Amino acid sequence: MSSSFPVSSARRIVSRTARLLFAGLMIGLPHLAVAHDLFAAYIQHSVLLTVGTRYTDLEVDLTFFEEWSARERAAMDADANGRITRSEVESYVKQRAVELARQVKLRVAGHELALVPLYDPEVDLLGNDQVGPAHHRLRLFFFAPTPTPMHAGDEFVVEDRLWPAAKALGILQTEGSDNCAFEAGKTSDPAFAPARAGEARLFKARCLKPPKAKPDHPPVSSDHPKPNVSHPSGPGPVPRLQKAGAGTASSPVVGGAKFELLRTRLAPCMKWPCPEPLMSSQLSHNSSPP
């Protein structure tokens, strides 16, 4: 049986549908381009604050969009050949590490914590080593002793003075360990304007429940004999920290071992409030813990 629907009508419907789809695409593309151009002049500031009983960790993750990435890539390209090498990135980081650390501060209940750089800043070119408009990331890592006592309602404020001339998108994430809880405050404007001279962009969080310290040793029941903590004839206690020489030449201590090593070396300086900031130049990553 032949169809009663004319072939010519079907062709006209298909042609009309294609024209409508094409017109919609042409209308939508300018909007996509406008959105893309809008964020080209921005740097996204993602702040992660993790609070526990002993330590407070702070990570600042910057994502540079086209305009600011092009500027920083040109600064990385020391020989101006249009291509960024690993050694050039390392030199860029080394030259700026101290100044970057000075531009980030953390206050708790109005008192400044002495932030200590945990690792060297990390630069990720996101697979593109060319100079020019692109994206890249810069991550900064800090830690500080958690202030004691801490109370519900205490405010944590991260002061960010990084690239004050750039427009910025701000994101704050908080995490609590040791049964503590935090509430991340909302920024007054999700797209920060360029910071005013001498002022910082502020990321605020409020303590809902302070961290609860865990006992150093589990309670020993009277029904069982106490463990013998002294073994003169035994091999001796197992050291908690990995010594620096146990790693490779390029990475003496990796991961959590390096993390705990730095914290152990800095323990005598960690008083609340700290009498004076401790500069990263005072740290020695290649020496054994005291």
- Lowest mean pLDDT across 215-219, 253-257, 269-273, 277-281: 253-257
Q: Is residue 218 part of a domain?
A: no
User: How many domains is the chain built from?
Assistant: 2
Picking from 190, 209, 228, the residue at the C-terminal end of a domain is 209
Q: Phi and psi for 137 in degrees, rounded to 5?
A: -120, 150
Higher-pLDDT residue of 24, 57: 57
pLDDT band at 2 (very low <50, low <70, confident <90, very high): very low
Pick from 109, 119, 75: which is nearest to 204 by CA? 109
**Which residue segment(s) compose the domain that 272 sits in?**
246-282
Higher-pLDDT residue of 246, 125: 125
Q: What is the pLDDT of residue 232?
A: 36
For residues 62 and 199, membership in a common domain is answered with yes
Amino acid at 50: T
For residues 274 and 153, membership in a common domain is answered with no
Q: What percent of the chain has pLDDT over 90?
A: 47
* 97 pLDDT above the threshold of 60: yes
Q: Is residue 152 part of a domain?
A: yes
Q: How far apart are CA 146 and CA 120, in angstroms?
A: 22
Residues 41/67, Cβ–Cβ less than 8 Å: yes
Q: Is residue 219 part of a domain?
A: no
Q: Is residue 178 part of a domain?
A: yes
Long-range contacts of 202-205 (CB under 8 A, 24+ apart): 202/157, 202/158, 202/159, 202/160, 203/45, 203/47, 203/49, 203/157, 203/158, 203/160, 203/170, 203/172, 204/155, 204/156, 204/157, 204/158, 204/172, 205/49, 205/155, 205/156, 205/172, 205/174
For residues 68 and 186, membership in a common domain is answered with yes
pTM of the model: 0.64
For residues 60 and 124, membership in a common domain is answered with yes
